[in-house]
Structure 1
Amino acid sequence: MRLDEVNALLHPEPLRLETGYERLPDGVLHVACRTDLHRCNGAMFEWWFRSRPDTERYIWWHPVDHVSSAWEGGTPDTHVGSTHVVEEFFTGEPKAQLLIQFRDETEFFDPQAVQQARAEGRISGAVCGRTGMGWDAPRLPDGRLLGGRLLHIVRDTPWGCALRSHFFMGQDLPAAGHSPEAIEQMLPDRFGTALLQHCYNEFTFLSRFLPSLYIAQHRDVQKVEVPW
């Protein structure tokens, strides 16, 4: 799957690659991870990012790989527009400094298709963004990060929700003149395996405590709809 084919994530039908990684012809590393989040839903998932987890909660999220968490920009009512400044390991790889710049899903998906998918219940949450390796990662003149892309798409189910996470690592490198061989050297296949395992583990950890935390944070302000 290329980045321009991601509208397929808005439909529940199985994809050719639900969990695994592949090397695209231009050298970009595409990593896909399907995780079942029992007793969670899309509202909880989006709230977790809006809550801007600090270092303590970030370590709850992945007690082995996560190191530190800070946030820049944005507003409390949305994750869009904020940048997550983190240190973490990717399943045995050296510790990395990473920027995650959360963007509106319509930057990556057709706006009408997203609206229709939400209205029809085919998706219940979306967290999307640009990623940059290193806290000095390059940016476009308008401030957008250059590097990779991440797409988390949630669909509610009777038992909780299904999460599809797709990463396009090195997405901007071909346009910068890097050959497929050079990109593979920078982002070898072993990184695809490490990112896949890291992603599955962190969202499995999250699913264990997210429902209780969400209910505790919302019990005085709204009636919480829970999937059980």
Structure 2
Amino acid sequence: MEFSDCARLLDPAPMALEMGFERLGDGVLHVAARTDMRGCTGAMLEWWFGSRPGTREYLWWHPLDHVASAWSETREGTHIGSIHHATERFTGSEPEQLAIQFREPAEFFDAGELAAARASGAVSAVICAHGGPGPEPRRRPDGAVIGTRLIHLCRDTPWGMVLRTHFFLGYDLPRLGMPRAMMDEQFPDHLAPNLLQHCYDEFTTLSRFLPSLYEAEAGGVRPPRRSW
């Protein structure tokens, strides 16, 4: 799936690539992961990113792969516009520093199509981001981070939430003239299965504590209940 076809994610019907990876013609490495997050909702996942988890919470999220977490350019009440400075491994690799800049979903999807998908229940939340390496990644004149594209798309179900995650690693670089051989070197094939497993592991782990944390800290959206 090309990034230009990401509107297909708004349709809950099974996709040709729900879980896997492929090398696109320009060298971009596309990684797709699907995670069933039982007991969770799209609102919970948006709240999680909006809470800007620090290193302690980041280690809860993936005790094996996550190392450190910090945030910059934050805005109160939303993750959009902020940059998550994450240090993490990808299933056994050496730790890497990444900058993940959260963007408006309208940058990735047609506003009318996204609104219709939300209204039908096909989509309950969308988290979109640009990503780049290191603490100070390259940026466009408008401030957008240059590099990768990331989409987390949620659909609520009677049992919880389906999360589709798609990475387009190095999306901007061919458009800036990076040769195919350099794309293959910077984003090697073995990165894809490592990233897929990392993503599935971290969101499966998150699903085990997110509902309780959300209930305790989300400010009365879902009031605490007695178990007796």
User: TM-score, length-normalised on structure 2?
Assistant: 0.96
| C-alpha contact 2:216 2:224 (8 A) present in aligned 1 | no
CA distance in 1, matches of 2:222, 2:136: 43
CA distance in 2, matches of 1:170, 1:223: 39
Deviation, 1:75, is 1.8
CA distance in 1, matches of 2:201, 2:50: 21
SS of residue in 2 equivalent to 1:57: helix
| Structure 1 partner of 2:207 | 207
| C-alpha contact 1:33 1:165 (8 A) present in aligned 2 | yes
Sequence identity (%):
52
Deviation, 1:186, is 1.1
Superposition RMSD on alpha carbons, in Å?
A: 1.4
SS of residue in 2 equivalent to 1:189: coil
1:63-91 CA deviation, whole Å, 9 max, x = no partner? 00001001112222211011101111011
Deviating 4+ runs (over 6 angstroms):
none
| Structure 2 partner of 1:221 | 220
SS of residue in 2 equivalent to 1:33: strand
Cα–Cα, structure 1 residues 27 and 224, in superposed 2: closer, same or farther, change >3 Å?
farther
CA distance in 2, matches of 1:165, 1:2: 14
CA distance in 2, matches of 1:40, 1:225: 15
Aligned residues: 225
Deviation, 1:48, is 0.3
| C-alpha contact 1:23 1:29 (8 A) present in aligned 2 | yes
Structure 1: where are the runs of 5+ without partners? none
1:53-92 pair list within 5 angstroms: 53-92=53-92
| C-alpha contact 2:131 2:150 (8 A) present in aligned 1 | yes
Deviation, 1:224, is 5.0
Cα–Cα, structure 1 residues 225 and 7, in superposed 2: closer, same or farther, change >3 Å?
farther
Q: Structure 1 residues 171-180 or 58-67, which shifts more?
A: 171-180
User: TM-score, length-normalised on structure 1?
Assistant: 0.96
| Structure 2 partner of 1:49 | 49
| C-alpha contact 2:18 2:34 (8 A) present in aligned 1 | yes
1:1-36 CA deviation, whole Å, 9 max, x = no partner? 111100000010111100010000000000000000
Residue identity in the other structure for 1:163: L
Structure 2: where are the runs of 5+ without partners? none
Deviation, 1:222, is 3.4
Find out whether 1:174 has 2:208 as its counterpart.
Answer: no
SS of residue in 2 equivalent to 1:154: strand
1:143-162 CA deviation, whole Å, 9 max, x = no partner? 10001010000000111000
